[in-house]
Amino acid sequence: MADKNKYYYERQQFHPGDVEVSASKYNMIIGAVLLYGFIVNAIMVRMIGTSFLETGIGGLIGGIVAYIICCIVGARLIHGSDKPVVSFIGYNLYVIPLGVIISGAVSIYMKTSPGAVTRAFVLTAIITGVMMAVATFIPDTFLSMGKTLLVALLACIIVDVIAILLGHNLVVIDYAVTFIFSLFVGYDWARANACVKTVDNAIDSAAELYIDIINLFLRILSIMGRSND
């Protein structure tokens, strides 16, 4: 957490050589990078489907390890570089492995409850838009939530893992995580607009928002799919 706060502090400072863009262009870059990630994921859903889930336990374990490695390397590239190209490569190391997970989840629900996918997509878009709008008007409120949101998310993850190990599926966790990631969207949007408006910071901010939005979508999809069971 301390390293991330230091990284965020650095993004708020203007450094020699930084080239700022207008606020509108900065936000357009964030939007374009996000859209790119979503398009890549949509293509992956059509191409991969549930094939990853059919590779057996060895394939699943290998996939999980590869996912963790990609995310760690991606985070290092994003947080450790002020070059847009390097940060964009790091962003792709988020987008591609998460795309595999999304492919499996969406493909399963498309077979069992296709309407749930559409509703989850629409609701995610609405929540994202609302949280960004609210965070634009009251950024300080969201910026003060950082530690609370992180602790709440970690608590939910721990409870969720314990429940899974005990053979339980706690519906309340899906709702709690959905609420937390909704707030994370506003939090990361407020942080994005508090940073120096460079192309690299726009890509870095898009990467953080992408993680929030995808996790929000997956949790809403789980809730919607369960409601159709």
Q: Residues for the chain: how many in total?
A: 229
Q: How confident is the model at residue 198 (pLDDT cuts 50, 70, 90)?
A: very high
Distances (CA, A) of 131 to 30, 137, 175, 209, 215: 15, 10, 17, 11, 15
Does residue 59 have a pLDDT over 60?
no
Residue 98, both tokens: 């998460």
Tens of pLDDT, residues 89-105: 999 999 998 888 888 88
Report helix, strand or coil for 144: coil
Q: Which residues of 168-205 are buried (b: 16+ CB within 10 A; e: fewer)?
A: eeeeebbebbbbbbbbbbbbbbbbbbebbbbbbbbbbb
Does residue 199 have a pLDDT over 60?
yes
Is residue 9, in this structure, part of any structural domain at all? no
Residue 126, both tokens: 């609405």
Is residue 119, in this structure, part of any structural domain at all? yes
Structure-token match 């708020």, residue found? 12
Is residue 29, in this structure, part of any structural domain at all? yes
| pLDDT, averaged across the chain | 85
Is residue 8, in this structure, part of any structural domain at all? no
Is residue 14, in this structure, part of any structural domain at all? no
The confidence score (pLDDT) of residue 111 equals: 79
Is residue 126, in this structure, part of any structural domain at all? yes
Please state the domain count of the chain: 1
Identify the weakest region by mean pLDDT among 35-39, 107-111, 149-153, 178-182: 107-111
Does residue 33 have a pLDDT over 60?
yes
Domain, as residue range, for 174: 20-227
Does residue 205 have a pLDDT over 90?
yes
Is residue 187, in this structure, part of any structural domain at all? yes
Contacts with 104 (C-beta within 8 Å, 6 or more apart), sequence order: 48, 49, 50, 52, 53
Tens of pLDDT, residues 157-189: 888 888 777 776 777 888 998 999 999 999 999
**Mean pLDDT, rounded, for 49-72:** 68
Residue 108, both tokens: 């399963």
Is residue 64, in this structure, part of any structural domain at all? yes
Residue 27, both tokens: 């936000």
Measured distance CA(172)–CA(166) in Å, rounded: 16
